[in-house]
Amino acid sequence: MVLTGSIGLHHILTTLRGAGHTNEPVNDMCAVEVPPLALPDAEALACRLIDGEQLPTASAEEAARAVAMEGDCFPFYIHSIVRHLRVSGRRADPGPIGEAVVEQMTDANDPWELAHYRTRIKSFYPGEEKVVLATLDLLESAGEAQTVAAILGAVKAQCAFDDRDRLLELLKLMQRDHYLARTAEGRFGFRFPLIRRWWKLDRGP
């Protein structure tokens, strides 16, 4: 049996444990994460889509790399970027590709459903939304991975929170929810540049 989907299973298990359940319902399941495509594969996909849509371009290779990089190598975003270029009658060149991405991110209809990265915080981290928001705001503005101490200092300045151990638990949960990545030095930062860009646009300057 294969159980698929981004369902925040670890949050469900945490809720069950909080309700007194002590069993391990998934102790015989192997968790396998499906990552984005490797860059060469993402470029190959973008190149084929650009060719299939017969989009004019000065350099198919340069366009494919731009689409792959702008879409963080996710097939969903790559398909959407190329489709947007076709529908809007744009060339597949770096400039129009960048414009297409910004338009998708700022569209009030949220075609990429990026708002769920913000709206799910309340249900995923009940009672600790301010801590999570302050953490993400800091990491977006900093532009680089930060130490736990730096994050704690920023959070303390925003809300009444001073629990390093709990913060570390939250940071690890945010890793599992695909917000953050942890460096070899133990620092935390946004995992995906695209999500960091959207977070800045959504939260405002």
Judge if 123 and 186 occupy the same domain.
yes
In which domain, by residue range, is 150 found? 116-203
Q: Residue 105 corresponds to which tokens in the numbers above?
A: 């991110």
Judge if 100 and 135 occupy the same domain.
no
Judge if 81 and 120 occupy the same domain.
no
Percent of the chain at pLDDT above 90? Answer: 77
**How confident is the prediction for the chain on average, in pLDDT?**
90
Is pLDDT above 90 for 33?
Answer: no
R_g over Cα of the chain = 19
| Reported pTM | 0.84
CA 158, CA 194: separation in Å to the nearest integer? 25
Domain boundary among 69, 85, 106: 106
List of residues 6+ apart from 1 with CB closer than 8 A: none
Per-residue model confidence (pLDDT) at position 18: 58
Q: Residue 91 corresponds to which tokens in the numbers above?
A: 């060339």
In angstroms, how far is CA 113 from the centroid of its own chain? 11
Question: CA 44, 182, 127, 106 torsion: positive or negative?
Answer: negative
Domain boundary among 106, 133, 159: 106
Exposed/middle/buried for 57, CB within 10 Å: 0-12, 13-18, 19+? buried
Per-residue model confidence (pLDDT) at position 173: 93
Tell me the pLDDT tens digit for each residue of 45-96.
999 999 999 999 999 999 999 999 999 999 999 999 999 999 999 999 999 9
Number of domains forming the structure of the chain: 2
Judge if 120 and 199 occupy the same domain.
yes
Per-residue model confidence (pLDDT) at position 24: 66
Judge if 171 and 138 occupy the same domain.
yes
